């Protein structure tokens, strides 16, 4: 099943959610130093906005006391 997480509405809440958020890959700069030269400030702002929206959606999907794991390779 595929769905846009920003549009999808689950029928129930979850005990745990893993967000593997889309990112800028700046956290990989040690192995890929070129990433710091090709990413533009506008792209960083766009990714931050998407990440914020995903976290906001996911929080509403969690059961009280649930666990949210947020993974991203951005600095």
Cα distance between residue 69 and residue 52, in whole Å = 14
Q: Has 29 been annotated as catalytic?
A: no
71 in Cβ contact with 18 (< 8 Å):
yes
Alpha helical stretches, state H, 10-61? 35-38, 41-61
SS3 20: strand
Catalytic annotation, pick one of 70, 73, 74, 75: 73
Which residue numbers are catalytic? 73
């Amino acid at each position: 099943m595929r769905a846009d997480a920003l549009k999808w509405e689950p029928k129930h809440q979850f005990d745990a959610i893993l967000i593997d958020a889309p990112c800028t890959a700046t956290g990989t700069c040690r192995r890929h130093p070129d990433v710091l030269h090709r990413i533009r400030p506008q792209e960083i702002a766009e990714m931050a906005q998407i990440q914020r929206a995903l976290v906001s959606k996911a929080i509403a999907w969690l059961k009280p006391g649930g666990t949210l794991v947020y993974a991203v390779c951005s600095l």
